[in-house]
Amino acid sequence: MLFCSKTTRILRISDTFGGMWRKIVLAAIFAGRAITGLSQSVEEMEKILLFYGVSSAEDLDSYEVEHLGAYLSRPLEINLVSPATLSASGLLTPYQVASLTDYRKRHGDVMSFVELASVDGYGKAVVEKIRPFIDLSGRDLSAYDERNYFQGSVDVKTGWKSSGEPTYGMKFKLKAARQFSAGGAFSRTSQAAGLLPDAFSGYVSYDFRKIPGKLVLGDFNARFGQGLALWNGMSLSGLSSPSSFLKRTSGISVSSSYTGNYSLRGAALDFTIKRLKFSTIFAARPERDGHSLMPALNVAWIRRKGVFSLTHYTDFRSSEADLSIPDMKTSLDAAVCLQGTDIFAEASYDWVNRCAAALAGTVYPVSEDVRMAALLRYYPSSYLSARSAAAASTTKCTNEYGVSLSGELTRGALSLDAAYFPTAKAGDDTRSSLQAKLRAEWNMTLSKALELRLRFSERLRSWGIPSRAEARATFIYTYEKWTATIRADMVKSDSYAFLGYAETGHKAEDISIYIRYGMFRIDDWDDRIYVYERDAPGAFNIPAYYGRGLWGALNVGWCCSRYIRIYGRASLTSYPFMKSKKSGRAELKLQVMSEF
């Protein structure tokens, strides 16, 4: 990324040497881009975790990883794209989009990441988080970059599991003249019956220029405010650092995913007139006995220091018997940045259940390397959260009154979350329940090549298993193109659970090879331990290990030409230490990716 940030300067200097030198420089730049992203490594997953402010991949879902993984392989060109595209990416807050747009008008392109850190609303910490996903290419480069007029990618994958039928999938994206784009994906999972695909998604999008805005037909995302009323997609289960408190509103954005679980389907339009941005949605989907139709409207007032918006949607359900409205909400939200301090709030009213929910929080930079955050939330048990994804201690924004505090340092973070559930949780006979979570992380550099990462978490509950503590230590050794990792994990609840693995690998410009071998002893399903596994870019592989056994995996990536990359994965899990017989599982994967 640092190399890309210097390309504009290189081209300007090369003007003195004539057009031939310029072409040679451009060829070198494009060749370098063609071989990046050789594999979705643990390091790349850590960049995604850092962006969302979570410490474990189990807090994310497949769509979010797939979405950010696309920007790792083809970063967002923040000097060239429109404000609508900046916002739809979900990489920046509305205030950061407005601040960057104003900066570009007054000063031109951002030439370096140091310069970007000096823009209002960014700073060193923010830039470090978004740096892997953005590109600082400038106007001079765009004039010679033919990819700016037509870009595309094709991704084909297939797999086989010993416990199920073969799986497959295909995804493609096309973009022309920075205005027109189209994409689609389909896949078949091992749980599907027959051989036909069981998941589809696709879209066609057009960006307007005279009046900034876009039109999307097909699958899209609608994410407004802090997610209390309308936010299709992921809801973080827990708040592990200040970075996870404030959501980055993306408004309307296209969606093309192998799973297709969260996207809306229909038509969406947004446009901006001066400081007002209007977003309209008409989504539809079939139901068992009829159809669901959902019109929605968001009006945002974008100011230099923040954004204020109003959102309303109504969900109509039609059937042969009648027409009903099972869900209808109106929300008001605000997010402002005052001298580097983010303050945000949202209040939503559920018209069907006649109740209101609200949240309010702040992220305060104590210094350049220290940040603090606080969040209050009030989610009544009668509040319907089917389309909500606001911050919560669980995955649902209902039946919860809570408070969260967090602090983040350069080397670690500490967070505390307390929640009161007014209605009984599953399996509990009491009317109300309490829960408290504590999480601490610390990273130490032992030498130039060796790093130690420690994490401890404790969860206390008034129902079910009262206590669950987890301690994790990870050693990472890096020497030139070689890397080695050792992880040890222990969980204590009603019993003890252990997991550990060792991994070594080599990553060069055109090939990467990683071998992992691990073992686990986990007798209780509630003590299961999640482990992120290396896979191809865009894939999300985080199995839960349970039982007593061993596992091993081999991952290979090969850049066989300038535009084609091939990935392979083989894994085997066995349970030789189980008292009762348990079948093992084997898996093979092959994925081919092409970008042009």
Q: Are residues 312 and 383 in the same domain?
A: yes
Asked if the structure places residue 67 within a domain, the reply is no
Q: Are residues 101 and 185 in the same domain?
A: no
Phi, psi of 381 (to 5 degrees): -70, -20
Q: Are residues 284 and 361 in the same domain?
A: yes
3-state SS, one letter per residue, for 142-204:
HCCCHHHCEEEEEEEEEEEECCCCCEEEEEEEEEECCCEEEEEEEEECCCCCCCCCCEEEEEE
Q: Are residues 316 and 271 in the same domain?
A: yes
Q: Which among 355, 380, 409 is the end of a domain?
A: 409
Asked if the structure places residue 541 within a domain, the reply is yes
Phi, psi of 430 (to 5 degrees): -80, 160
Q: Are residues 402 and 257 in the same domain?
A: yes
Q: Are residues 349 and 455 in the same domain?
A: no
SS3 255: coil
Give the chain's domain count: 3
Q: Are residues 354 and 220 in the same domain?
A: yes
Domain CATH code at residue 498: 2.40.160.10
User: Which domain does 375 fall in, by range?
Assistant: 166-409
Q: Are residues 126 and 238 in the same domain?
A: no
pLDDT score for 429: 57
Q: Are residues 260 and 332 in the same domain?
A: yes
Closest-CA residue to 584 (of 559, 556, 550): 550
Asked if the structure places residue 247 within a domain, the reply is yes
For 210, residues 6+ apart whose C-beta sits below 8 A from its C-beta are: none
Q: Are residues 98 and 141 in the same domain?
A: yes
pLDDT score for 3: 34
C-beta of residue 498 within 8 angstroms of C-beta of residue 8: no
Closest-CA residue to 410 (of 455, 369, 456, 440): 369
Q: Which among 374, 409, 444 is the end of a domain?
A: 409
For the whole model, what pTM was predicted? 0.78
Please give the distance of CA 17 from its chain centroid, rounded to a whole number: 43
CA atoms within 13 A on the CB side of 385: 25
Joined together, the tokens standing for residue 314 give 């109504």
Asked if the structure places residue 64 within a domain, the reply is no
- pLDDT, tens digit, 9 for 90 and up, residues 271-314: 888 889 999 999 988 766 678 899 999 999 988 788 899 999 99
Q: Are residues 405 and 462 in the same domain?
A: no
C-beta of residue 168 within 8 angstroms of C-beta of residue 192: no
Taking the chain (596 residues) in consecutive chunks of 10 residues, what is each chunk's mean pLDDT?
35 37 36 40 70 66 69 83 79 80 83 84 81 78 51 86 80 84 84 72 87 89 91 69 80 80 87 89 79 92 86 88 88 89 94 96 87 93 91 86 90 90 70 89 90 93 89 92 93 93 90 94 90 77 89 92 87 90 89 84
pLDDT score for 319: 74
Asked if the structure places residue 127 within a domain, the reply is yes
Separation of alpha carbons 230 and 245, rounded Å: 17
C-beta of residue 567 within 8 angstroms of C-beta of residue 555: yes
Q: Which among 356, 377, 409 is the end of a domain?
A: 409
**DSSP structural state of residue 560:** -
Asked if the structure places residue 311 within a domain, the reply is yes
Asked if the structure places residue 307 within a domain, the reply is yes
Separation of alpha carbons 180 and 177, rounded Å: 7
Q: Are residues 131 and 218 in the same domain?
A: no
Asked if the structure places residue 432 within a domain, the reply is yes
